[in-house]
Amino acid sequence: MRFLATVFALWLLVMTAGVAGQNVERGREIPSTPASVKNILYAQRFTLEAPYINDWSKERARVSTGVLVVLEVDPAYVDPRDAVINPVLYAGDVTVIRLNHGNRSGRVIGIIPGDVNLATAPIWFGSPQLPERLTESIIQSERERAEKAGVRAFPSARISAIERPVVAAKDLATLLRTTGADLVLEFSPQEKSLAEIWRLPVAKAPPRRKPN
């Protein structure tokens, strides 16, 4: 199935976050939230011919536009061994779909779904939660907490310096197979196996046999 590699990649992050706590050292604590990310290193808007379902929110909206970002983070916030439920990464009024772990590189490659304005949208780690349980009201509450704590959007000059031209792709799997894989290899090469998974050949159905 054409979408199989994409589903597996996104599923991998969710499942690891859910089961990693089985082997965690019990004395380990989750870092305090809200906490801003350290920096934004890359941003590229994208469009998709075929939308995908955003499973990282309770509304499960269809997404055909968004922004690919690379964020510099404190590895403590993305360590898959920290807890069963980890701090959620937000950008403005949406959750960031994390495409890699980033705990070894300190770089998170992610997707911000929709038409977000990075010059006004703060990016931060919020309270530990399962992304698929988040509602709009919960996200708004988390943003209010973050802004009260001093979390702010990056300056416009910084955003302009790291923005790349818009990229168009047939679907999410194609976007990850090309641009997404390149970003993993550049910013988080420790996770090159993830890029390799995205670039696996796509299985196609055999051609239908003609009747005799």
pLDDT for the residue numbered 61: 81
Number of domains in the chain: 1
**Is residue 25's pLDDT more than 50?**
no
Specify if 212 maps to a domain.
no
Total-model pTM: 0.82
Cα 94 to Cα 73: distance, rounded to the nearest angstrom? 18
Whether 210 is covered by a domain: the verdict is no
Question: The domain containing residue 109 runs over which residues?
Answer: 4-198
pLDDT of 130 reads 86
Q: What CA–CA distance (Å, rounded) separates 209 from 86? A: 50
Q: Is residue 48 part of a domain?
A: yes
Q: Tell me whether residue 46 is in a domain.
A: yes
Is 26 part of any domain? yes
Please say if the pLDDT value at position 23 is more than 60: no
In terms of residues, how long is the chain? 212
Comparing CA positions, the residue from 72, 45, 86 lying closest to residue 168 is 45
What pLDDT digit, counting tens, does each position of 94-127 carry?
999 999 999 999 999 999 999 999 999 999 999 9
Confirm if 104 and 188 have CB atoms less than 8 A apart.
yes
Is residue 211 in a domain? no
Q: How far is CA 198 from CA 44, 50, 121, 124, 185, in A?
A: 19, 18, 29, 27, 12
Domain membership of residue 170 (yes or no) is yes
Do the domain assignments include residue 204? Answer: no
Mean pLDDT of the residues in the chain: 85
DSSP letter at 77 equals G
